[in-house]
Amino acid sequence: GSRGVVDLDAALAVFANLVNACAPDTRTWWRCKIGALRVLALRGRQGDFETAQMGLADLKSNHPNLDGGKFGIEEKVKALEKRLAEKGAKAR
């Protein structure tokens, strides 16, 4: 229902604020960066899917080794890529 969308809006705002407040490449920064992209993939508003895809591509482009294995981000990125691929296939 609409409560879920409101919760996702709030989650996205929190993740975005934390990404901006945290030092880059810290555990919190990575978790919030991926969290924000996951929320976009879940929320499903106009443009969210595309924004999540672009954000993930940008993240991988700017950080080819991701977190260098320090925080287990690769697993989360792979799960997000799978979710986005599945949503992309459904949209076709």
Query: What is the pTM for the complete model shown?
Result: 0.89
Mean pLDDT score of the chain = 92
* 6-20 confidence digits (pLDDT tens): 899 999 999 999 999
**Confidence bin at 2 (pLDDT 50/70/90):** low
Q: Is the pLDDT of residue 91 over 70?
A: no
* 29-53 confidence digits (pLDDT tens): 999 999 999 999 999 899 999 999 9
Other Cβ atoms closer than 10 A to 71: 18
Whether the CB-CB separation of 37 and 15 falls below 8 Å is answered with no
**What are 86's two structure tokens?**
């599945």
